[in-house]
C-alpha cells in the first residue's frame, strides 16, 4: 500500500495480498466500465519469484488508480497489460506506468514491449495508438462450450507429460511450429518447465522401445482458480494434416475433464484459419479478441 502521498508510483518484485486485492478491485471497475475481460494472469501475479520488477502500481492518496503488469517469459520482448481507473484517465497515469516499464526493460536489455489490448476497449485502443504502438498481431480467446469428440486415435502417437529431459525437443517443436528463434524457444521452455501451475505435454511419433521417437507437437496447461488455459499448442509442419493436433487436443481435454469442471480456454491468432476451424469443431467458441501493439522500449 502507498504511504499516503498524494501521488506515488510503486514498482514491485512481488505483490502482497493487499495489493493483489487492490488490483482485483481495479480490474473489476475497468472491466465493468467498458464491458471488458482484461487479460490478467492471476496465477502469474501470485507466484512472482521476487527477483525482478514486473509490476507497477500508481496511487492517488491510498487509492490504487493505475496498474501495469509485465510478463516474465520473453528474452527480447515482454508483454504488458495495464489499466487506469475511469475517473483518473487523461492525467498521464498510463504513460507514467508505460515509461516505468520501458525503463525497467532497458535496464535488463529487453528491446521491445508489447501492449495487450482488448479489441472492444476504445480507451485501450486509443492509448496503444497514441503511444506509437504498431499492431503486431491479434488473437481470439476461445472457450470450450460443448466438447465434440471424434475419437480419432493413431496408436503410434504418444502423448505424455514433459520434463527437463525433453527441453531440446520442446524447443525444436516450438521453433518449428511458430518460427521463433531456437535459442528463444529454449529459454522460454526452460522457464516454463519451472513455473508453478504450468504443465507441459509433448507428443512423439514412433516406438519408444526401439528409440525412434520423433517429436511431433506440444502444448501446455496453465491452471488458475477459475480456468485452465491451453497455450503454446504447436505441431511440426511435417506432421500436420494427419489428425494429430486433434488427437492431442481431445486427449488433454479428456484428462482435464476427468479431474475438473473449470472453464477451458485457449488463444489462437485471428488469421490462423485452420486452427480456428479445429477448435470450433471441438466445441470452442470465440469469447473476445486481443490486439498486440509493439513498441520499441527506447521509444520516447
- Tell me which residue has cell 492471476: 42
pLDDT single digits (tens) 99-138: 999 999 999 999 999 999 999 999 999 999 999 999 999 9
**Per residue in 39-49, pLDDT tens?**
898 888 988 88
Q: List the domains of the chain with CATH numbers.
A: 7-139+292-296 (3.40.630.30), 147-282 (3.40.630.30)
Chain mean position to CA 87: 28
Contacts of 295 (CB under 8 A, 6+ apart): 98, 102, 112, 113, 114, 115, 131, 132, 133, 134
Q: Is the pLDDT of residue 208 over 70?
A: no
Half-sphere exposure of 125 (CA within 13 A, CB side): 11
Q: How does the average pLDDT of the chain come out, rounded? A: 92
Whole-model pTM over 0.85: yes
**Under 8 Å between Cβ of 268 and 278:** no
pLDDT tens track for 49-98: 899 999 999 999 999 999 999 997 767 889 999 999 999 999 999 999 99
Amino acid at each position: 500500500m502507498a504511504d499516503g502521498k498524494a501521488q506515488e508510483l510503486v514498482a514491485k518484485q512481488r505483490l502482497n495480498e493487499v495489493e493483489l486485492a487492490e488490483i482485483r478491485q481495479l480490474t473489476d471497475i475497468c472491466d465493468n466500465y467498458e464491458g471488458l475481460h482484461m487479460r490478467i494472469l492471476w496465477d502469474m501475479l501470485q507466484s512472482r519469484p521476487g527477483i525482478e520488477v514486473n509490476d507497477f502500481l500508481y496511487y492517488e492518496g491510498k487509492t490504487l488508480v493505475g496498474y501495469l503488469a509485465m510478463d516474465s517469459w520473453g528474452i527480447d520482448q515482454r508483454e504488458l497489460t495495464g489499466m487506469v481507473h475511469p475517473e483518473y484517465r487523461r492525467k498521464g497515469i498510463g504513460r507514467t506506468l508505460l515509461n516505468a516499464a520501458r525503463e525497467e526493460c532497458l535496464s535488463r536489455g529487453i528491446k521491445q514491449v508489447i501492449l495487450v489490448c482488448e479489441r472492444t476497449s476504445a480507451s485501450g485502443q486509443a492509448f496503444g495508438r497514441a503511444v506509437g504502438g504498431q499492431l503486431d498481431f491479434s488473437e481470439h480467446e476461445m472457450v470450450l462450450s460443448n466438447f465434440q469428440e471424434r475419437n480419432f486415435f493413431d496408436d503410434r502417437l504418444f502423448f505424455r507429460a514433459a520434463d527437463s529431459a525433453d527441453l531440446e525437443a520442446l524447443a525444436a517443436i516450438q521453433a518449428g511450429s511458430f518460427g521463433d528463434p531456437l535459442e528463444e524457444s529454449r529459454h522460454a521452455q526452460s522457464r516454463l518447465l519451472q513455473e508453478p501451475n504450468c504443465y507441459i505435454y509433448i507428443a512423439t511419433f514412433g516406438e519408444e522401445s526401439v528409440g525412434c521417437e520423433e517429436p511431433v507437437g506440444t502444448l501446455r496447461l496453465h491452471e488458475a482458480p477459475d480456468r485452465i488455459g491451453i497455450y503454446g499448442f504447436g505441431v511440426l509442419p511435417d506432421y500436420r494434416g494427419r489428425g494429430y493436433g486433434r488427437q492431442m487436443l481431445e486427449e488433454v481435454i479428456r484428462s482435464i475433464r476427468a479431474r475438473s469442471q473449470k472453464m477451458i480456454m485457449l488463444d489462437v491468432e485471428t488469421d490462423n484459419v485452420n486452427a480456428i476451424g479445429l477448435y470450433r469443431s471441438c466445441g470452442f467458441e470465440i469469447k473476445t479478441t486481443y490486439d498486440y501493439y509493439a513498441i520499441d522500449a527506447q521509444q520516447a
